[in-house]
């Protein structure tokens, strides 16, 4: 074997030995993540928040997110990004939804004379982009499977579960409702409701889930609110041919916060 070949072999052996030592002395950096597992789950993720919350004292109020990568508010033309759970606590309000009267009892109805009863719904939302309130009925007002009071079509046959129409005539029969936003003095102002009911003369049907209709929005806002209220009017008018009986149904309101 020539002297040159021996030198090349020695160099290759030395180079391999040097690379091997470098691997153990200077290992490649690894990506850091977090791993959790139990008998029921495995979670692998880049990072998990350690804590977040809203802290207060006599002199300050602090909201925080600990453990998240790059929390904070980022602004650019056209958007604002708020990264971190502390932004949920920008307002101390919690979601609440109240109905002041859960039983609407019309009593004895007189044909051709509309009867109207009321209750008030009130909503408070946390920080975010407001709320939507949906409404539906389980079925029309009915005494049994064959006797029911139909949903109103309004005076001009132009209202249904999603579109309101004027209902003032005593010759218009059926069951319907409206919602009108009110202020703290119970005066009508239409806030949150005017896009669905222009004024108190406009009514529409409750969406009927027994007829495969979907719940409809009856009140909404795109900003956080505190104790925003609406008066809901329930109106029924029957004809002289309406069969007597005890007519009932259930009305369901669903409040959904927007984030």
- Which structural domain range is residue 75 located in? 47-89
Q: Could you give the CA distance from residue 121 to residue 146 in angstroms, rounded to a whole number?
A: 32
CATH number, domain of 230, equals 2.60.40
Pairing of strands 228-237, 115-124: antiparallel
Across 115-128, average pLDDT: 91
Residue 244, in any domain of the structure: yes
pTM (2 decimals)?
0.68
Predicted local confidence at residue 207, as pLDDT: 98
Residue 54, in any domain of the structure: yes
66 with 180, same domain? no
206 with 78, same domain? no
206 with 104, same domain? yes
Query: Which residue in 199, 206, 213 sits closest to 251, CA to CA?
Result: 206
Predicted local confidence at residue 218, as pLDDT: 98
Choose between 101 and 73: higher pLDDT: 101
The two structure tokens encoding residue 73: 């508010």
106 with 84, same domain? no
199 with 239, same domain? yes
Query: What percent of the chain has a predicted confidence (pLDDT) above 70?
Result: 75
Predicted local confidence at residue 40, as pLDDT: 77
111 with 56, same domain? no
Spell out where the chain has E strands: 34-37, 42-45, 51-56, 61-66, 72-76, 79-83, 96-99, 115-124, 131-137, 141-142, 148-149, 165-166, 174-182, 202-203, 216-221, 228-237, 251-257
Residue 106, in any domain of the structure: yes
Predicted local confidence at residue 37, as pLDDT: 82
Predicted local confidence at residue 133, as pLDDT: 97
Across 27-42, average pLDDT: 69
Across 233-259, average pLDDT: 94
100 with 73, same domain? no
Across 48-63, average pLDDT: 71
The two structure tokens encoding residue 199: 């004024």
Choose between 18 and 153: higher pLDDT: 153
Pairing of strands 131-137, 96-99: unpaired
- The rounded mean pLDDT for the chain is 84
- The pLDDT tens digits for 159-174 are 999 999 999 999 999 9
Residue 189, in any domain of the structure: yes
What is the 8-class DSSP label of residue 113? S
What is the 8-class DSSP label of residue 8? H
Contacts of 96 (CB under 8 A, 6+ apart): 122, 123, 124
Indicate if the pLDDT at residue 94 is higher than 90: no
> Of 57, 89, 121, which one is at a domain's C-terminal end?
89
124 with 84, same domain? no
Residue 28, in any domain of the structure: no
> Of 34, 68, 89, which one is at a domain's C-terminal end?
89
Predicted local confidence at residue 186, as pLDDT: 94
Across 167-194, average pLDDT: 96
The residues pairing with 166 across neighbouring beta strands, listed in sequence order, are: 202
156 with 78, same domain? no
Across 82-108, average pLDDT: 79
Residue 104, in any domain of the structure: yes
146 with 167, same domain? yes
Residue 14, in any domain of the structure: no
Residue 32, in any domain of the structure: no
Across 4-29, average pLDDT: 54
Across 147-167, average pLDDT: 97
210 with 156, same domain? yes
The total domain count for the chain is: 2
* pLDDT confidence tier of residue 87, bands split at 50, 70 and 90: low
153 with 221, same domain? yes
Choose between 121 and 56: higher pLDDT: 121
Burial string for 159-176 (b: 16+ CB within 10 Å, else e) reads bbbeebbbbeeeebbbbb
What is the 8-class DSSP label of residue 208? B
Q: Could you give the CA distance from residue 114 to residue 167 in angstroms, rounded to a whole number?
A: 10
Indicate if the pLDDT at residue 236 is higher than 60: yes
Cβ(119)–Cβ(140) under 8 Å?
no
């Amino acid at each position: 074997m020539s002297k040159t070949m021996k030198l090349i072999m020695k160099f290759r052996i030395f180079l391999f030995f040097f690379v091997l030592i470098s691997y153990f002395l200077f290992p490649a950096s690894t990506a850091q993540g977090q791993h959790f597992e139990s008998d029921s789950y495995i979670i692998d993720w880049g990072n998990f928040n350690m804590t977040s919350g809203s802290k207060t004292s006599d002199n300050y109020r602090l909201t925080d997110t600990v453990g998240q990568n790059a929390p904070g508010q980022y602004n650019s033309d056209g958007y604002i990004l708020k990264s971190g759970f502390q932004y949920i606590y920008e307002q101390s309000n919690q979601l609440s939804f109240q109905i002041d009267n859960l039983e609407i009892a019309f009593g004895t109805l007189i044909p051709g004379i509309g009867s109207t009863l009321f209750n008030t719904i009130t909503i408070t939302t946390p920080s975010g982009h407001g709320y939507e309130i949906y409404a539906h009925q389980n079925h029309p007002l009915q005494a049994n499977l064959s006797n029911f009071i139909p949903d109103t079509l309004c005076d001009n046959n132009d209202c249904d579960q999603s579109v309101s129409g004027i209902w003032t005539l005593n010759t218009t029969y059926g069951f319907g409702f409206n919602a009108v936003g009110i202020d703290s003095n119970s005066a009508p102002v239409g806030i949150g409701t005017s896009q669905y009911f222009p004024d108190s003369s406009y009514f529409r049907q409750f969406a009927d889930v027994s007829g495969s209709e979907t719940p409809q929005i009856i009140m909404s806002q795109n900003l956080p609110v505190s104790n925003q209220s609406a008066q809901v009017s329930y109106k029924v008018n029957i004809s002289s041919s309406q069969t007597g009986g005890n007519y009932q149904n259930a009305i369901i309101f669903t409040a959904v916060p927007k984030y």
